[in-house]
Amino acid sequence: MAADFVHHYEARIEEGATVAGKAMFVSSNRQVAYAFYKEVVALRPQWAEVRVCADGEELTEQEKKQIMPMERIKLVMTRGQDDDPALYEMLGTKDYRKELDRQFKTSKSNFKIAIVVDM
């Protein structure tokens, strides 16, 4: 499924058929979402690299203050006490998730792919 998603996403980007390269993958549960994230990152490790903004974008001074450097692909879900430590740290706090929401809505942000659970 991850390989199919990557192929489809890259084809849509090439066609210019997405809004600012944004995509959302909705999963039915946390385990599937995390496994999917790891599979996609294994296929495209560069998507997990923190970048100041999306490729090909130039930021104004004001945008540099508003756009947070981050990865292209992120898991957006609440964290649980039983989460794997790496997953727990990755998910962050409620305030962090609010910031992810704001960044995802910003076209020049490097955050382009949100993996969510039942949202």
Can you give the pLDDT at residue 19?
75
Can you give the pLDDT at residue 119?
60
The pLDDT tens digits of the residues spanning 10-48 come to 999 988 877 788 999 999 999 999 999 999 999 999 999
Query: Is the model more confident about 26 or about 80?
Result: 26
Collapsing DSSP states into helix, strand and coil, what is residue 32?
Answer: helix
DSSP state of 51: B
Cα 96 from Cα 101, distance rounded (Å): 9
Q: Which residue has the tokens 């104004």?
A: 60
Phi-psi map region of 40: left, alpha, beta (phi>0 left; psi -120 to 50 alpha) = alpha
Position 76, amino acid: V
| CATH 3.40.50 corresponds to the domain 2-117 | yes
The pLDDT tens digits of the residues spanning 81-102 come to 888 898 999 999 999 999 999 9
> Would the pTM of this model clear 0.85, i.e. be above it?
yes
Between vectors from CA 91 to CA 85 and to CA 92, what angle results, nearest 5°?
A: 100
Can you give the pLDDT at residue 24?
94
